[in-house]
């Protein structure tokens, strides 16, 4: 009969969750160093990991198994010998055609980080099975990529060394390395927001949290705001493509600096009406960047009519919009009624996520 240690090794199962995010101001411009304001939200990715039977040293077949339920994809990575492991750690994930690249890259970069930072000198890459599921709709501007990546990093680092407690900023650093590797051009916004929780300001690709001098008045104002998240329509392009396209837009500097000016005005913004107005102004600049769609514009119009302002959130090209709600319940009901009339995909109440 197996002893307790053997039993634990065999069935050791770890579960983790991570939030997703909205960008209140500054998407795309933030990739070029302009400021952005983001907030972690309570729509989560869940994951679980367990060791697979680690057959004897001479065993010729060892695998990492990944089950990505939302993508309907199952993947197997061969780690049977040193050469297979080396190949995996040197893998160019952008050669993978399927959408599994974020999670595969997260596993690869976590293992590399642990090896390079000597957190676990004799790190043994054990066969394991990882399962992910997200309540955040995938690829629609709510940072599902960052959320799936962070959940994977938490699980893999814990499984490979259960005494190792990577800090939130270490995990954010690994998560950012993944988004950068896949997007090419990427800011730290999504990965740091889901890792740190709360409200963040990003400037020059560095972050300021609300306990690190982020403008108090602004944080207080945002905390009194009620946002609605509207999943307007499916996005047919990934963030990576949209970011490249915007990067080649000849008007981008002019538009980004106007987005920067909106964020400066935010610092002296006194009330929700002004805040909502600035959101709509930010949206109009994203429209000029050609990343909005007719249906998102319709939702933004409804958001400005029945709420206090609205904009698309994330990379655009479809996906989600956020609306700042009027405090009057009747206006909210009118808004929801009109959103349903134009057949939006889903409506979420927006709750801020704070890291305990």
Ligand X SMILES: C[C@@](O)(CCOP(=O)(O)O)CC(=O)O
Q: Find all residues with CB under 8 Å of 49, minimum gap 6, and list them.
A: 13, 14, 128, 129, 130, 131, 155, 156, 158, 159
Site track 225-244 with ligand X (rule: CB under 6 A), x = hit: --------------x---x-
* 301 near ligand ADP, judged by CB under 6 A: no
- Binds 186, which of Mg ion, ligand ADP, ligand X, none (CB < 5 to 8 A, cut-off by type)? ligand X
Q: How far is the CB of 145 from ligand X (least distance, A)?
A: 5
Q: Is 127 annotated as a binding residue?
A: no
Nearer to ligand X, 127 or 141 (CB): 141
Q: Find all residues with CB under 8 Å of 272, minimum gap 6, and list them.
A: 221, 224, 225, 308, 324, 327
Direct distance between the N- and C-terminal alpha carbons of the chain, in angstroms, rounded to an integer: 40
Nearest-angstrom CA–CA distance, 179 and 177: 6
* 141 near ligand ADP, judged by CB under 6 A: yes
Q: Looking at 173, 181, 190, 201, which residue binds ligand X (CB under 6 A)?
A: 190
Binders of ligand X among 315-354, rule CB under 6 A?
Answer: 315
Binders of ligand X among 303-322, rule CB under 6 A?
Answer: 314-315
Helix (H, G, I), strand (E, B) or coil at 243: helix
Beta strands 128-134 and 63-68: pairing type?
parallel
CA torsion through residues 152, 155, 161, 164, sign: positive
Nearer to Mg ion, 45 or 239 (CB): 239
Q: Which of 53, 190, 297, 327 is catalytic?
A: 190
Q: How far is the CB of 143 from ligand X (least distance, A)?
A: 4
Q: Are 172 and 21 in contact (CB under 8 A)?
A: no
Site track 157-186 with ligand X (rule: CB under 6 A), x = hit: --------------------------x--x
Nearer to ligand X, 41 or 125 (CB): 41
Nearest-angstrom CA–CA distance, 326 and 328: 5
Nearer to ligand ADP, 143 or 307 (CB): 143
Judged by phi (left if over 0) then psi (alpha if -120 to 50, else beta), residue 198 lies in left
Q: How far is the CB of 350 from Mg ion (least distance, A)?
A: 18
Q: Based on the residue annotation, tell me whether 190 is a catalytic residue of this protein.
A: yes
Helices (runs of H) and strands (runs of E) counted in the chain? 12, 11
Q: How far is the CB of 31 from ligand X (least distance, A)?
A: 5
Q: Find all residues with CB under 8 Å of 93, minimum gap 6, and list them.
A: 101, 104, 105, 108, 181, 182
Helix (H, G, I), strand (E, B) or coil at 190: helix
Q: How far is the CB of 249 from Mg ion (least distance, A)?
A: 19
Chain positions contacting Mg ion, by CB under 5 A: 145, 239
Chain positions contacting ligand ADP, by CB under 6 A: 45, 68, 70-71, 99, 101-103, 132, 134, 138-145, 148, 238-239, 314-315
């Amino acid at each position: 009969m197996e002893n307790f240690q053997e039993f634990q090794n065999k069935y050791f199962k770890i579960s983790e969750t991570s939030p997703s995010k909205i960008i209140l101001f500054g998407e795309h411009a933030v990739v070029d160093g302009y400021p952005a304001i983001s907030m972690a939200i309570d729509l989560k990715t869940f994951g679980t990991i367990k060791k697979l039977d680690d057959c004897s040293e001479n065993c010729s077949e060892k695998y990492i198994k990944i089950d990505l339920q939302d993508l309907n994809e199952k993947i197997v990575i061969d780690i049977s010998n040193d050469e297979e492991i080396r190949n995996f750690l040197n893998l160019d994930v952008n050669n993978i055609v399927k959408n599994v690249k974020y999670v595969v890259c997260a596993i690869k970069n976590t293992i590399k980080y642990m090896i390079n930072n000597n957190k676990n000198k004799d790190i043994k890459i054990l066969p394991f099975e990882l399962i992910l599921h997200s309540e955040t709709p995938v690829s629609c501007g709510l940072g599902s990529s960052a959320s799936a990546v962070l959940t994977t990093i938490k699980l893999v680092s814990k499984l490979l060394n259960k005494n190792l407690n990577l800090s939130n900023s270490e995990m954010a650093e690994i998560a950012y390395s993944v988004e950068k590797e896949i997007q090419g051009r990427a800011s730290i916004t999504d990965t740091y927001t889901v890792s740190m929780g709360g409200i963040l300001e990003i400037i020059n690709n560095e972050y300021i949290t609300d306990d690190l001098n982020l403008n108090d008045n602004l944080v207080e104002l945002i905390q009194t705001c009620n946002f609605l998240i509207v999943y307007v329509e499916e996005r047919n392009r990934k963030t990576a493509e949209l970011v490249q396209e915007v990067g080649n837009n000849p008007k981008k500097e002019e538009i980004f600096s106007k987005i920067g000016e909106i964020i400066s005005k935010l610092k002296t913004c006194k009330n929700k009406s002004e805040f909502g107005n600035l959101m709509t102004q930010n949206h109009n600049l994203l429209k000029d960047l050609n990343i909005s769609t007719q249906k998102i514009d319709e939702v933004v119009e409804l958001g400005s009519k029945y709420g206090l302002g609205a904009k698309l959130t994330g990379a655009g090209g479809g996906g989600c919009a956020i609306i700042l709600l009027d405090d009057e319940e009747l206006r909210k009901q009118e808004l929801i009624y009109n959103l349903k009339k134009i057949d939006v995909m889903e409506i979420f109440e927006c709750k801020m996520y704070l890291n305990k």
